[in-house]
Structure 1
């Protein structure tokens, strides 16, 4: 029996958008965990409470969902014209695995607040009152993000009347700009097409508990690198209306297996992995989502969503489960794809050129803006923007056994 004492690590528990996670200042971590590697991964796994075969993360800070099994490490930026370096780790719930392959757009809304409150932003850049513009270097994907953080009397303003579907209480609005979210050195559409055919070894009819008439194993898909690598398919092509809530998807193990098969084959087609077997070690990316034209539905909170108030519907999966709202980075992908005529997202929204869309998700609606342009067949987007909110939930120390890492 181990009798090694627990250690204390300064940490802040924060909500950002519709996610929450444990935030660390890099220099507060034990020396071994200040660099990438197994020690860091092991430390974060123990903090969150993974791997947990019970799927509850009871012995850690995680909340047993993809939205609440997250960690963030911040430091003064080493990049020119940036304030803070932001590294995101998505912690698996039932596996000993931390995925560093992508960003969390929701928690991005909390990065600026943490950076200001923890002295990572030069004081000359922080107004006493007004908006602090925090320049974030997203280290996972080497991208610049700008957070517009409201300030009152020299302190971050967290309370306010901005309402975000998927978050119970109102808070202060934080505008987040994702600059050039598509990689300039790689194709925004990695296959060169805005719509592809994904050939699958099995159809959804062979997986799902639902009665699905279509036995198609060839699925139309829009695959895009913007915000986060994302695969979009039509809801109707896989037997759904597009206004489904979490339980209808997450209680259907066959459907979840189908979505994972679809995600794995799409990842190969996008060039993210060489073989479908590698998808298990890359759970955070790509995301898989299905789209449909607007319809009336009732959100998970009981709020009535009118088809007249939205441009399209999107349902997205994260870490193998349907997300309760929408991942921020996936929202960037939605906004970007909507701006490009002919994508499945654009067609679901009516097929017109767009600089913004309002889409329905399980918890309500979200507006995201993006401007895309084409140059000799190559698509690029300059900026995607959305409003989120953030709040400190708890700060102090997190404790883990001293031999955890």
Structure 2
């Protein structure tokens, strides 16, 4: 039997928002993985421990959920007025592919910290104390993110008293701005409408809002498919029929949004679009047991990621929520009570989150959003070297 010695690759394991992943500097990757392609994907799959038919990722760094099966590659930016290029790879748990079609908003909060600590931000831009503004080029979707990272005594400050629902311990607050968050080159509303009728085989005709902001997202009224909008993970993730329904909605929404050309392509594009259900505010108990009062939120939202209900809320989906809430007539805006608003606080399975966005309508009737803003936190969990068998590129 052939023997493939393990190779060591410098890496950092970080939490960002309610996600965590393995961070690399591009220059530290093996030469074959420094460019897009099969070798890079094979490496990241092996690092995370996928594909795993057992669904546990025991032989890798992944945590067997969409929130913890993530990778990030950073390099100094070649873009004017940017510090770092950020490439995100969502690693499938049970299938042999890495999805590069979108961003991770939660890990965006950790990108600035990693970039500073790794020397990817010019020294003259890093204050000894105060806030370091890191200008990030999000390479997956071609957008700018600005992270405001606290500094103390010349080092990134990670500890603090900022609390984030879905994260057990408090940490330092990192404000993240998603500039011009309409995803990619297309229109914010790919059909030109803030609300559409979507025909879904086996489900029926659903009223939906389909938006490209933060990440392509399909919003559906919860009561239209038999939910209240206050559900926790076990209410959906243990129901195979429900998961199949959501995947059908996602696939047909992706086709209508122009993200795929044929319905079969949805299976190879699991990261985008997202599907979320929305409902007016209502009391519920979060997964931690914390009581969430209807009077403390503007609406309830539950979103699926990589085929499962998310335990909290994806950062990019939060951008989509904030953006849609700011535009009158969307399902998100209507669930929040309608009218004009520049911020919204929504309930999710782990608690609540506030996101701000300002929308303007152009003379030709199209909507644009200059930026969406939210606060997250980030922390290094472990740093050193990750090991993988040296024959990864033959996978």
Normalising by structure 2, what TM-score? 0.99
Aligned counterpart, 1:210? none
2:350 aligns to what?
A: 363
Give the equivalent residue in structure 1 for 2:158.
158
Contact 1:25 1:75 in 2 (8 A): yes
Counterpart mapping for 1:134-173 below 5 A: 134-173=134-173
Whether the 8 Å contact between 1:184 and 1:380 is mirrored in structure 2 is no
Determine the structure 2 residue equivalent to 1:377.
365
For 1:253 and 1:91, locate their aligned partners in 2 and report how far apart those are by CA, in whole Å: 22
Q: Which residue of structure 2 aligns with residue 56 of structure 1?
A: 56
Tell me the distance in 1 between the aligned counterparts of 2:255 and 2:365. 23
Cross-structure match for 1:389: 377
Q: Which residue matches 1:213?
A: none
2:122 — aligned with what? 122
Deviations 1:41-99 (A, max 9, x none): 00000000000000000000000000000000000001000000000000000000000
Give the alignment partner of residue 297 of structure 2, picking from 288, 310, 321. 310
Q: CA contact under 8 A between 2:89 and 2:100: conserved in structure 1?
A: yes
Aligned to 1:259: 246
Secondary structure of 1:259 counterpart? helix
CA deviation map 1:189-223 (0-9, x unaligned)? 000110001111102xxxxxxxxxxxxx0100000
- Whole-Å separation in 2 of the counterparts to 1:374 and 1:268: 26
Q: Which residue, out of 381, 387, 391, partners 1:399?
A: 387
Q: Hey, what's the Cα distance between the residues in 1 that align with 2:183 and 2:207? A: 24
Unaligned runs of at least 5 residues, structure 1: 204-216
Alpha-carbon distance, 1:385 to partner: 0.2
Is the 1:195–1:222 Cα contact (8 Å) retained in structure 2?
yes
1:185 CA displacement = 4.0
Contact 2:142-2:184 within 8 A present in 1 as well: no
Note the alpha carbon deviations across 1:135-159, whole angstroms, 9 max, x for none: 0000000000000000000000000
The alpha-carbon deviation at position 352 of structure 1 amounts to 1.5
1:220-299 matches, cutoff 5 A = 220-299=207-286
For normalisation by structure 1, the TM-score amounts to: 0.96
Q: Tell me, what secondary structure is at the counterpart of 2:392?
A: coil
Aligned to 1:321: 308
Residues in 2 aligned to 1:200 and 1:28: alpha-carbon distance in whole angstroms: 46
Deviation track 1:341-365 (CA, whole Å, cap 9, x = no partner) reads 0000000000121100000000000
Q: 1:15-94, aligned counterparts within 5 Å?
A: 15-94=15-94
Determine if contact 2:16/2:379 at 8 Å carries over to the other structure: yes
Residue aligning to 1:211? none
SS at match of 1:256: helix
Q: CA deviation at 1:184?
A: 7.8
Report how far residue 29 of structure 1 moved: 0.2
Q: 2: distance between equivalents of 1:201 and 1:391?
A: 44
2:183–2:214 contact (8 Å) kept in structure 1: no
Equivalent position of 1:133 in the other structure:
133
2:48–2:61 contact (8 Å) kept in structure 1: yes
Change (3 A) 1:322 1:183: closer
Superposition deviation, residue 4 in structure 1: 1.3
Aligned pair count reads: 392
SS in 2 for 1:337: helix
| Residue aligning to 1:175 | 175
